[in-house]
Structure 1
């Protein structure tokens, strides 16, 4: 029996590296030789520190990693749309395929008991091989690398959905609050959609500096008591589209209050609460608040195509790369909150 190396998250800030059997693809499945697998903040929050969640949200002790990208090595029976050698990213939720959400492509919102996320309820990408359903694959354009692919699988796809929900166009000024990997991706995508001005806000100076160095922002601000007025000044009254990627109550409030009248405020950052004055901050300004959770399979496919056409590459946002054998160090760094995007590179 062929064996492979795989990483598991038992909780208690630990990563277990195990030798396990190489998986065999079933009907409608493919086996990928893994190339790149991203780390996501949700892995840290919900699994690495302490297993959180019940029923369908519960981590099931599987191979970790829900941002997989690799090359198809073998096909199971019934596969018709992909072939051996294809370079792909994996939409990280495998849904039932029949509920309204799945039929719209939003497998993330599938409520069927069989819904399973890679790296949460079924084996994920932190291994030398991964078995994935053919229906969950997105082919990578030639100019995108496996590093781009793994980032698109969750973080960039999530940012892209927020940009679409905010209806960003060349007429818009866009502000992003929270310049972690998803926030930086949102700025990159806003530029791709033609935003005439981009503004980045974060509590950490180094993150603002990173956004500036990468050429993603017209203006960058460290969050403080004067930030709202500064944003209103450079935008002549507020950004027409704001996106909160911080998940922080003050960040969410800033995003809403910095939205221009008749503008759109998109909440992407997970967990927590926000308090605002309904009349002053929302109704009287004719603002819209939009919730956006991950993306659809269709939009992930379109995101990859758009990035290739725009010549924008998520790999430019990656700050740290680790080998699979270094997975414990990768997670330890991610848990500090002081890094940018981290990926595990799985080489032949």
Structure 2
């Protein structure tokens, strides 16, 4: 089979390797689509994502959909359409027993956080644990299902609001950053009952995509940072999806007194200047959110119910065009979600 390997910063090559064989409790998938995520971009363009550096050839990709190729037990029929929860949860901790995505010693597809690295999905075949599979409804196309993982990230971010006793229903929401996660967070917030969602970004092109999704899914208003004035204390909840320090500072300005800021975008693992004074004086809550727990099931259901979410995918490239796909995914003026189609991919 063929797979894409990130060997180091700015080094990616598609190579032929042996197809993996499933062991006990495992199933082999024929991968149809893989989405390029922000972490994949960091591994390729910087050779590092946060504190985790590429130390051996890494197959990227944790957003995927495809069909079952081989289940040694026969429980999953060949050809069954699926997506995958990309996490293998680690060591249970009593204080967070119901939040396995936060347990230590776990792994995630396409990640350099482990040694050896946990290889990802940008390959023709992938072996995963059976409990990581999620069967797709007959009405959900395999291509659209590639968005299940990033949509689950967005749904988990929205769920964090309730964790601190706040309510997304009827809320005035600002989503900062109009990349793929930002667009999916707009969709998630509206699906969970937000009354009004404003989308902000420094670029006009990503903002236009946020409104083009339509009234039921898209942003109700946009704000171009550096052009439009940021409303002060205007939002009940701010989802900061860019990870940029100035945007975190702006979130503190925009949130109302005793409002909630959810930091969705990953930030570099080094000190960065952030203005915290408004957050302190407003007694606002600043929350972290990390991947997701079990929201991928709700993501599959939402993707099935809302076909237009597939419009978040703006470009599709073949595996042999992986380098071009990464270059395109980095250009937020040109693209939103870029997916790589593996040979034989079904729509």
Same fold (TM over 0.5): yes
Query: Residue 193 of structure 2 corresponds to which residue in structure 1?
Result: 194
Secondary structure at 2:17's aligned position in 1?
Answer: strand
Secondary structure at 1:96's aligned position in 2?
Answer: coil
Does the alignment pair 1:219 with 2:221?
Answer: yes
Whether the aligned pair in 2 keeps the contact of 1:319 and 1:342 (CA below 8 Å) is yes
Q: How big is the shift at 1:206?
A: 0.8
Residues 292-303 of structure 1 aligned to structure 2 (within 5 Å)? 292-296=289-293, 298-303=294-299
Query: Residue 333 of structure 1 corresponds to which residue in structure 2?
Result: 328
- Which stretch has the larger CA shift, 211-220 or 161-170? 161-170
Closer, same or farther: CA 131–37 of 1 in aligned 2, 3 Å? same
Q: Deviations over 1:91-122 (max 9, x none)?
A: 22223364559953533x3322xx33212223
Rounded to whole Å, the distance in 1 between the matches of 2:275 and 2:264 is 17
Does the alignment pair 1:317 with 2:315?
Answer: no
Does the alignment pair 1:35 with 2:32?
Answer: yes
Does the alignment pair 1:250 with 2:252?
Answer: no
Q: How big is the shift at 1:54?
A: 9.6
- Which stretch has the larger CA shift, 267-276 or 215-224? 267-276
Secondary structure at 1:194's aligned position in 2?
Answer: coil
Does the alignment pair 1:137 with 2:133?
Answer: yes
Rounded to whole Å, the distance in 2 between the matches of 1:97 and 1:275 is 33
- Which stretch has the larger CA shift, 187-196 or 312-321? 312-321
Q: Deviations over 1:108-138 (max 9, x none)?
A: x3322xx332122233211111111112222
Does the alignment pair 1:238 with 2:212?
Answer: no
RMSD of equivalent CA atoms: 2.5
Whether the aligned pair in 1 keeps the contact of 2:177 and 2:201 (CA below 8 Å) is yes
Does the alignment pair 1:148 with 2:139?
Answer: no
Q: How big is the shift at 1:316?
A: 1.3
Query: Residue 13 of structure 2 corresponds to which residue in structure 1?
Result: 16
Unmatched 5+ residue regions in structure 1? none
**Which of 264, 269, 278 is 2:265 aligned to?**
269
Q: Deviations over 1:192-222 (max 9, x none)?
A: 1121111000000111111122221111111
Secondary structure at 2:128's aligned position in 1?
Answer: strand
**Which of 103, 106, 115 is 1:110 aligned to?**
103
Q: How big is the shift at 1:88?
A: 1.6
Rounded to whole Å, the distance in 2 between the matches of 1:190 and 1:48 is 31
Whether the aligned pair in 2 keeps the contact of 1:156 and 1:314 (CA below 8 Å) is no
Query: Residue 114 of structure 2 corresponds to which residue in structure 1?
Result: none
Residues 3-152 of structure 1 aligned to structure 2 (within 5 Å)? 4-45=1-42, 47-52=43-48, 60-77=56-73, 82-96=76-90, 98-99=92-93, 104-107=98-101, 109-112=102-105, 115-120=106-111, 121-152=117-148
State how many pairs are aligned. 328
Whether the aligned pair in 1 keeps the contact of 2:81 and 2:135 (CA below 8 Å) is yes
- Which stretch has the larger CA shift, 31-40 or 63-72? 63-72
Q: Deviations over 1:144-195 (max 9, x none)?
A: 3223322222x22221111111245331111101000000000111121121
